[in-house]
Structure 1
């Protein structure tokens, strides 16, 4: 049995992780009483006692938690914050991209961001295959349910301003997700990232529009789709839609059920000069809690889909 400590278990991501761990006999959850959760000595003790610590904290608090772990401790870490995502000492928690063995053997794993998960799933394999250029100025248009903003944004949408229909943000063009998008896709330029939030609790659509006619090498929609299908062949989590299976519309519904799967689509126009790469996922699933559980399973030598919601 593996012992786990979830630092920040009362937050949105922490609660999602606990739901997926419910009833799993492979794990014992270590906890701290409410009055000890901010006690540094108590946190240090339990962080060093656990086989695996899962950090569901703001960035600075995540760094502080890692500093409390003794360098010779057995404790391995999965960090759900953005504090360590481009740190070379950490393994990026995207098994489809970095390899399952890399995560299985890692001592420090950093969860991908929810938006970068969709972007990288679409673009990184195509850049690696030489079908998309690394020096292209990519644009990412994305929309998410409001749970991705944590308790403050949840309260704003549900209580303070329930009439919000659409919220565009990161208008300063400096969102922290841009760094991992550029890094793990192997790009020469930072992306233009245009995220937005809608009044649905969960769910996410990430789109990368492409002017294929301006690119060298004839990267047609069919070739892009085939490359993604080959890359994710056999994946239990990521599915790539066939040409004839592409939906006429993509819809997020307010009552969508939790899911840890991700669907990828390539839409193209008649001449093949334009394409829209689209990822559909749950920001709290493959974008957060589901990704954590997938990495946790691999680190513990278990089937990667244990506890995941893939139906």
Structure 2
């Protein structure tokens, strides 16, 4: 018997990709509303309550409203918006975040899909905090660049229609970005990072960097210890890998088109500095791929079904 799934908001970038990934599978059956019924509140409410699992690909307020429309005790929810990522009663949907995170997701009724930028940041930082290598009160910075598909239909149209005249554009210059609360909560840090996001003129892909002075680490910690902590954290993970190479360059597209994430640790012993780098696909491990992974876990299906390594 297949798991019934309703994607609420399947006309956006993430929703369309999730729908495409699920449409050919025989272990999942999609509940689909045509354009007219999608705007019918009663039809939408029925779909939200009829599905085994609902995936919300909506703005934050609309996602909260959708959850409120579910009036049974069995429908389970994966929310791809920001609305519930630090909310009580919701399980954070980054399966590799903690040793037992996948098991917690499998048992959860309400799962909040992580943001794409936080996924890279947390993959680099959380194991170091957990291992005691990076003090919880450390002040850190994260620099991150995404492909323009992360900005949705309007940004895609801007870049592909010729309105965008730049190859690289920093944004959120006033700080206070909506991803910072989940970065702080789920990393175990007591201070939010200085978050410096940017968009590049490439469709998909992402690079996330956390620069560190060795002086920011706990006494005695060094590059080897940081690398080992990451290897230990992800040794049993299929979708997160720690690079064994030291490439001269890294491209934003290195993991584009996949659902994996690659972590690198670069260091300079003389300068006593480290540069932690994650590459991933903003639409893969950073969005649709993570939602499909969470769906697989919640439905008791193969964890890697529909995912590309």
- Normalised to the residue count of structure 2, the TM-score between the two structures is 0.96
| Greater displacement, 257-266 / 193-202 | 257-266
For 1:104 and 1:256, the matched residues in 2 are separated by 26
Q: Which residue number corresponds to residue 69 of structure 1?
A: 70
For 1:129 and 1:215, the matched residues in 2 are separated by 11
For 1:190 and 1:31, the matched residues in 2 are separated by 40
Q: Which residue number corresponds to residue 301 of structure 1?
A: 300
For 2:177 and 2:256, the matched residues in 1 are separated by 28
Aligned to 1:174, what secondary structure does the other structure show? Answer: coil
Residue ranges of structure 2 left out of the alignment (5+ in a row): none
Alignment of 1:168-207 (within 5 A): 168-207=170-209
Q: Between Structure 1 and Structure 2, how many residues are aligned?
A: 306
For 1:147 and 1:32, the matched residues in 2 are separated by 25
Aligned to 2:275, what secondary structure does the other structure show? Answer: strand
Matched, 1:260 2:259: yes
What displacement does 1:63 show? 0.6
CA RMSD, 1 decimal: 1.4
Aligned to 1:125, what secondary structure does the other structure show? Answer: helix
Aligned to 2:103, what secondary structure does the other structure show? Answer: helix
What displacement does 1:167 show? 1.0
Contact 1:220/1:272, CA 8 A, preserved across alignment: no
For 1:121 and 1:193, the matched residues in 2 are separated by 15
Alignment of 1:158-173 (within 5 A): 158-173=160-175
Q: Which residue number corresponds to residue 10 of structure 1?
A: 11
For 2:93 and 2:291, the matched residues in 1 are separated by 8
1:105 counterpart (104, 107, 130)? 107
Alignment of 1:200-239 (within 5 A): 200-239=202-241
Tell me: CA distance 1:48–1:258, structure 2 relative to 1, closer, same or farther (3 Å): same
For 1:138 and 1:86, the matched residues in 2 are separated by 20
Aligned to 1:278, what secondary structure does the other structure show? Answer: strand
Q: Which residue number corresponds to residue 89 of structure 2?
A: 89
Aligned to 2:161, what secondary structure does the other structure show? Answer: helix
Aligned to 1:95, what secondary structure does the other structure show? Answer: coil
Residue ranges of structure 1 left out of the alignment (5+ in a row): none
Aligned to 1:64, what secondary structure does the other structure show? Answer: helix
Contact 1:213/1:272, CA 8 A, preserved across alignment: no
- Normalised to the residue count of structure 1, the TM-score between the two structures is 0.95
Q: Which residue number corresponds to residue 277 of structure 1?
A: 276
What displacement does 1:271 show? 3.2
Per-residue CA shift, 1:292-311, capped at 9, x if unaligned?
Answer: 0111000011121111011x
Contact 2:91/2:105, CA 8 A, preserved across alignment: yes
For 2:110 and 2:208, the matched residues in 1 are separated by 27
For 1:127 and 1:257, the matched residues in 2 are separated by 28
For 2:217 and 2:49, the matched residues in 1 are separated by 51
Contact 1:237/1:260, CA 8 A, preserved across alignment: yes
Contact 1:48/1:73, CA 8 A, preserved across alignment: no
Aligned to 1:97, what secondary structure does the other structure show? Answer: coil
2:130 counterpart (128, 132, 151)? 128
Per-residue CA shift, 1:148-184, capped at 9, x if unaligned?
Answer: 0111111111115242211110011110000000000
Per-residue CA shift, 1:270-306, capped at 9, x if unaligned?
Answer: 3371001100000000000000011100001112111
